[in-house]
Structure formats: C-alpha cells, structure tokens
A and B are shown apart, each in its own frame.
Chain A
Amino acid sequence: TQTVSQSDAHVTVFEGDSVELRCNYSYGGSIYLSWYIQHHGHGLQFLLKYYSGNPVVQGVNGFEAEFSKSDSSFHLRKASVHWSDSAVYFCAVSATNYNVLYFGSGTKLTVEP
C-alpha cells in the first residue's frame, strides 16, 4: 500500500521568499511521484512529475521538485513566490502499472504581501 505524508498542513511566507513544501512517501515498487495545486474553489491542476532520471524536475511557474530515494522524499520548491502561488498543494504517488493516485492531505501555502 502506498502512503503519502505531507507534514506541514500550513506554510506562510512573504512574497519574494523561497519555499519548500515537504512530501514523504512509502512504497516499495516502481512509482510516479507528482505534485498538484488547488486554488480555492477549483479543481486540482498538475504541476510536475518524476519517474526516473534527473532527480530534479521542473514544473510550471518556476516550481521544481527533487526526488530522494534515500529519504523517500519528493519536496517541492520555488525560489521566489508570488501572491498568486497561495493555494493548497498536494503530493501524490502512483504505481507505474496502476492508474490510481494516492494523495497526501495537502499543504496550504499562504503568501503574504
């Protein structure tokens, strides 16, 4: 069974700050790891994913994530946040031979002006 843990329910930063949103997973097989963003009142939107190769993957709007097998982690980062980045961010894992995504409980990012 796959599990995804997002340890921070809320993160608050100021505009222009860097941010890291943490994600740890538990699964023994071959997987896809992905991040989604949900703005208030909207559905989830895909940000980026990792399967293999370069452990740092680039997504939209300056987001990137780094995979670490030793730490079982897939943390999301952004060097300089904008107020429009305020949203809930979900980490997800899926087995490569199975379509189902397992989501973490989400991290609400608030960007203060």
Chain B
Amino acid sequence: DMKVTQMPRYLIKRMGENVLLECGQDMSHETMYWYRQDPGLGLQLIYISYDVDSNSEGDIPKGYRVSRKKREHFSLILDSAKTNQTSVYFCASSLSGGAGEQYFGPGTRLTVL
C-alpha cells in the first residue's frame, strides 16, 4: 500500500523551543518535499530532497532545516520556533522524474505559542 506518513499529527510548542517533524514513505521514492499550507496561500515549498543527503532550499527555507539519512525518511527541523511558523506542514514524495505527480502525507498541524 503506497503511503506517506507524518508524525506527529498535532503539536503545540512554545516560542523558542525546537521542533522535529518526521515523514516516512514506503514507495522507495527518490524525491521528497516539505511544504507549509496557510489559509489562502496554497502550498509553499520549504525544502526538496533529491535523495539521501541531497537537499535543496525551496521558496521559503528561512527558519527551517532538513535531514535525510535514509531514502524513506525525511525530517523537518525548526530550531527555536517562532509564532509565525504556526501552520500545517505537509510532506510529499515522488519518483525522480516527478511528472507532476506527488504523494502527500496527512499533514502536521503545528501551533507555536
């Protein structure tokens, strides 16, 4: 069963705390993504990973970093979270060619107080 999983699904943190969002996929996809979704803005790309230890910044990387040590896992890290990072975060994966088809996880709703 092709699946992208995200943990945790809901998270509340205080400003200045560190945040770790985890993503896994069971399709052996080379490429993985982190997006954030805010009302009225669609999805914005934070980082893209082309394979293990091959990561590139997306459109809004400031305040975030990522780690990909295994093909099936991709982590998003917020060092010292800020209130404006309150959002819903989605992980996705695709084959290396992409072809406009990505598989999305269920999302993590992060609230930074």
- A: residues with CB less than 8 A from B are 9, 32-34, 36, 41-46, 49, 51, 90, 92-94, 96, 98-101, 103-106
B98 neighbours in A (Cβ, 8 Å)? 32, 94, 98-101
Task: Give the size category of B's interface with A.
Answer: 20 to 34
- Rounded to whole angstroms, the CA-CA distance of A9 and B43 in the bound complex is 15
Q: Across the interface, do A46 and B42 meet the contact criterion of CB distance under 8 Å? A: no
CB contacts under 8 Å to A, within B41-61, are 41-43, 45, 48, 50, 58
A101 touching B48 by the CB < 8 A rule? no
Report how far A20 CA is from B75 CA in the complex, Å. 38
Does B4 lie within 8 Å of A101, measured CB to CB? Answer: no
Q: A27 → chain B, closest Cβ, in Å?
A: 12
The answer to whether A90 touches B43, judged by C-beta atoms less than 8 angstroms apart, is yes
A42 CB contacts on chain B under 8 angstroms: 106-107
Contact of B99 among A49, A100, A104 (CB under 8 A): A49
Bound-complex Cα distance A51 to B101 (A):
11
Pick the 3 closest A-B CB pairs, nearest first. A32-B100, A43-B104, A99-B98
